Chains A and B, each alone.
Chain A
Amino acid sequence: MIFGVTLFLMILLDKSYSYAFRSGQPRSKIQNMLQLENKHYDVAFFGSSRTENHINCELITEYTGKSCINFGISGGTAGDMLILMKLAENRNVTFNQVFMQVDYNYNHFGMSSYFKANLIPFIGEPIVKEQMKKYENEFFYSSIPFYKFMIFDKVVGIREATASTLRLNQNTNINVGFFPKQGIGKAVDGIFPKSIKSRSTEIDLMQEHYLNTNTNIEFFTAPYCKDVKNREFIEKLQLKLPRLRNYIAIFDDKEEFFFNCGHLNEAGANVFTKRLIEDLFK
């Protein structure tokens, strides 16, 4: 009897949570993308925290008049970004220019767990299922009711489901996507891998994805502090991506711009964005 009650409650909760995330207020960039439709942006930035924390789209729009969106996600992998690009295509969200930030994420493969968790409520949608299948067996997520929400409770648990249902906004503007870091880092340090993968399937697929389309894709590397170890990794990356725009060293003498070795603070982010405006749009 208890098992029957539990199963019934799991089905009920599964339906409720799925409805809450589908029809509620999007509270992450992934959920936002899944609710976007038929939109066009002049410029889109993809990448990890070095995109999310560094690229101020409002500044770009103000200086250039171009519409801009930042899809960078802290901890996001190249695999995550490739899926976002596929989802954008599926929702008819188009761009003239795509900038993808690359660094040590060139070496990684697969989805981040945060990204996967955000996709979970939408697993019923064919495009999401298709993309997830590429990376892992989604059988348990699809077949055991509510299991998917339990396993990823930190990201799609009761707090987020409630906030989404009550249409509570995030503290920051998800449609712009710029979440700057505050303050100046005390102990700046960081390390790049010593070796680089021969090829990144996902970066190759991104280039393929925008081949013969009206969208142009470019790759860039965000600034790091000068103390970062194995910096020659970026030189190796440049050999893989010859047109890579390399900004790793532009703030070598500007410690005040860093929150920590791999992340700029808000002041640094704004200066970096202005530099990109100069280089990319003028």
Chain B
Amino acid sequence: MAHVIFLLFGNFAYLLDCLSFSMRDMLKLRLIAIASSLSGMVYFFYHSLWLNVTANGICTIINIVQVGILLYQKRELTFDNVLEERLYHKVFFDLSPHQFKKLIQSATFETVEPGALLFEEGKHPSFLAIVAEGVISIISGEKEVAYCKENDFLGEMSFITERPAAATAKAVESTSFFQWKRNELKVFLEKEPAIKGVLNDQIGRNLIIKIN
């Protein structure tokens, strides 16, 4: 009887292993992996296979720590200010609170006075920004071609194409924005592909709004 029960534990461990591989949600994957390695430990303990008991034990500990980290990252988000909160709910709602915090912590918050020049036509903007408050005029040659307002990206065309700015950006009124240094952001996004995906999506959506 005991043999059958331990056999069930062994099969259960492998079945859970297979199930964990089909998971896309990391928390579920980790939880199933914990259940699998615990079942495996029971089975291998019965056969006195200490190598496997130890390996499964290490796996359990690693996954418990990872579950703890995931739960910590999923905790409710506290915003530093209203502008940050608005940015999360209006633009970066597809990011998890933890991912949003990471992205926003890699940015600086800047405020410029009316008339301030943010970048010039024909020169490489050194940053990507998103307007939090205020209005920025986009001037091509001598002609004002557009305005960037709240939640509009700034410098995104050069960020995508690596080419110099096609227009000059000048603050019409006192304007605040979140700003990322271009090269630092590129390095950051290579390490954070999920954030890169959401940022690309939102830049795309903003480009469509600007075109229309």
Q: Answer yes or no: are A and B bound together in one complex.
A: no
Show the binding face of A for B, using Cβ within 8 Å: none
